[in-house]
Amino acid sequence: DVKVTQSSRYLVKRTGEKVFLECVQDMDHENMFWYRQDPGLGLRLIYFSYDVKMKEKGDIPEGYSVSREKKERFSLILESASTNQTSMYLCASTRRRVETQYFGPGTRLLVL
């Protein structure tokens, strides 16, 4: 059974803190994604990675960075958290474009 896990379900951070969100998949997928989901705005792609140490910007990369040192792990980093980064963060992975994207359970981040 396929599985994508995220390090936290809920996080509360202060403005200016550095925040790490981790995503791990056990399916040996090459492609991994970070989305954020906000009411009225839907899902928006932040970054994606198609191989180890490779990364590409999505639609809204500002204020975020990513790291993919191992195939199974894709980390999203908020260098200096701001209140407008309060959101639901969703990680996904897929082997190929013609296959299903599998999503993790999400991390709800609140920045105070």
Partner 1 sequence: KQEVTQIPAALSVPEGENLVLNCSFTDSAIYNLQWFRQDPGKGLTSLLLIQSSQREQTSGRLNASLDKSSGRSTLYIAASQPGDSATYLCAVPLMDSSYKLIFGSGTRLLVRP
Binding residues for partner 1 (CB under 8 A): 4, 6, 31, 33, 42-43, 45, 48, 50, 56, 58, 88, 90, 92, 94, 97-106, 108
Nearer to partner 1, 7 or 101 (CB): 101
CA–CA separation, 84 and 73 (whole Å)? 26
Minimum distance of partner 1 from residue 8's CB (angstroms): 13
Nearer to partner 1, 75 or 107 (CB): 107
Q: Cβ neighbours of residue 8 under 8 Å, at least 6 residues apart?
A: 21, 107
CA–CA separation, 92 and 88 (whole Å)? 13
Q: Which two tokens stand for residue 58?
A: 């999505």
Minimum distance of partner 1 from residue 37's CB (angstroms): 9
CA–CA separation, 34 and 102 (whole Å)? 12
Nearer to partner 1, 33 or 74 (CB): 33
